[in-house]
Amino acid sequence: MPTINFGAGPAKMPEEVMRQAQREFIFYGNTGLSVIEMSHRSSHYENINQNAQDVLRRILKVPDNYKILFLQGGGTGLFAAVAMNLMGRTGSADYIVTGSWSAKAAKEAAKYGKVNLVLPKTSKYTGIPSQETWNLDPNASYVYYCSNETVHGVEFDYIPETNGVPLVADMSSNFLSRGFDVSKFGVIFAGAQKNVGPSGVTLVIVREDLLGEPMKICPIVMDFTIMAQDNSLHNTPPTFNVYFVGLVFQWIEGQGGLAEMEKRATYKSSAVYSVIDGSKGFYSCPVEKESRSKMNIPFRIKTEELEQLFLKEAQTKGMIQLKGHRSVGGIRASLYNAVTTEETQSLVQFMEEFMSAHQ
Q: Which of residues 41-80 bind ligand PMP (CB under 6 A)?
A: 74-76
Give the range of 169-177, 278-286, 305-313, 332-340 binding ligand PMP by CB under 6 A: 169-177
User: Residue 310 and residue 315: Cα distance in Å, rounded?
Assistant: 8
- Identify which of 239, 249, 220, 203 has the alpha carbon closest to the alpha carbon of residue 67: 203
CB nearer ligand PMP, residue 170 or residue 223:
170
- Element of type H or E holding 247: helix 239-255
Alpha carbons within 13 angstroms on the beta-carbon side of residue 322 total 26
The answer to whether residue 150 forms part of the interface with ligand PMP (CB under 6 A) is yes
Cβ of residue 75: shortest distance to ligand PMP, in angstroms?
3
Parallel/antiparallel/unpaired status of strands 167-170 and 187-191: parallel
Residue 145 is a binding residue for ligand PMP (CB under 6 A): no
Element (H, E) at 106: helix 100-109
Applying CB under 6 A, the span of 168-176, 213-221, 257-265, 302-310 interacting with ligand PMP comes to: 168-176
Q: How many other CB atoms are found less than 10 A from the CB of residue 106?
A: 22
Binding residues for ligand PMP restricted to 185-244, rule: CB under 6 A: 191
Q: How many residues bind ligand PMP (CB under 6 A)?
A: 11
User: Strand, helix or coil at 154?
Assistant: strand
Is residue 134 among the annotated active site residues?
A: no
**Binding-site member from 94, 108, 155, 170 for ligand PMP (CB under 6 A):** 170
Out of 173, 177, 250, 293, name the contact with ligand PMP by CB under 6 A: 173
Rounded distance between C-alpha atoms, residue 277 and residue 275, angstroms: 6
For residues 142-156, one letter each, b for 16 or more C-beta atoms within 10 angstroms of the residue's C-beta and e for the rest, the string is bbbbbbbbbbbbbbb
Active site residue 194: yes
Give me the sheet containing 331-334, strands edge to edge: 283-284, 296-301, 331-334
Shortest distance (Å) from residue 111 CB to ligand PMP = 16
In the set 12, 67, 94, 170, the catalytic residue is: 170
> Would you name the residues annotated as active-site residues?
101, 170, 194
Q: Residues in the site for ligand PMP, rule: CB under 6 A? A: 9, 74-76, 101, 146, 150, 170, 172-173, 191
